Amino acid sequence: MQLFRILQSQGFGVRRLCRELIESGRVKTNGVAMTDPESECDPVALTLSVDGQDWLYREKVYLALNKPEGYECSRQASHHPSVFSLLPAPLAERGVQPVGRLDQDSTGLLLLSDDGDFIHRYTSPKKEIGKRYRVVCKHPVSEEQIAALRTGVLLRDERAPIAARACQRVGEKVVDLDIGEGKYHQVKRMLAAAGNRVESLERTRIGGFDLPSDLEPGQWRYLEAADLTALAQT
């Protein structure tokens, strides 16, 4: 694969810019300086160095981001900064998309990828991918509210009650809530239907993958093979 095309695929810009990066001596492959944009390279296990920063070639990327409050899951953010501003430019430019969304006032685990099949799998309601949320409520959470969430509450514009997969109180006003549907504002609407109100909402798990404890708000990391295996546990 020609080197300039590899750079393009990894988000380093249009063809002309990638050729200029190589011709100006700013690119290395596996530690070797390159100046010919049309050099043939095997992308497997290839480490690119651009302006001194290393990037492992990845045909597709899978990312976990700890989304902070006050960021929008959109490239065309209107009232708040975009989550894409938290990513290095090459990752944002190669076309990663949020895998599902979190409201600007919600926080926690957000997946991003440029793999269309992966995005479809983890956003399709038919797949029923489980998600866990740490919910801080306005009022103390009663046993009756926990029972209602577990057995099912009727949301506006829904024909049948919707039940949490699991609901556990972890504080007077705090619950861990597991759902599988992913309807619009579902957690907030469920708590309202149970007679309470959400004050803050953090997504802590998708499938079998937990938000890493060492991933601070605003930080991201690649999902590796073991993470993708955990994620697939619905």
Domains and CATH numbers, the chain: 3-56 (3.10.290.10), 62-125+211-231 (3.30.70.580), 130-206 (3.30.70.1560)
Angstrom distances, CA of residue 22 to CA of 13, 14, 35, 48, 94: 12, 13, 5, 11, 18
The pLDDT of residue 133: 98
The mean pLDDT value for 24-36 works out to 96
The mean pLDDT value for 115-129 works out to 91
**What does residue 205 show for φ and ψ, rounded to 5 degrees?**
-155, 145
The pLDDT of residue 159: 87
- For the annotated catalytic residues, the residue numbers are 103
The mean pLDDT value for 75-90 works out to 90
Q: What percent of the chain has pLDDT over 70?
A: 100
201-231 pLDDT tens trace: 999 999 999 999 999 999 999 999 999 999 9
pLDDT band at 140 (very low <50, low <70, confident <90, very high): very high
The pLDDT of residue 2: 97
| Burial grade of 92 (CB within 10 A; 0-12, 13-18, 19 or more) | middle
The pLDDT of residue 182: 80
pLDDT band at 77 (very low <50, low <70, confident <90, very high): confident
The pLDDT of residue 78: 78
Say whether 206 sits in a helix, a strand or coil. strand
For residues 55 and 92, give the distance between their C-alpha atoms in angstroms, rounded to a whole number: 14
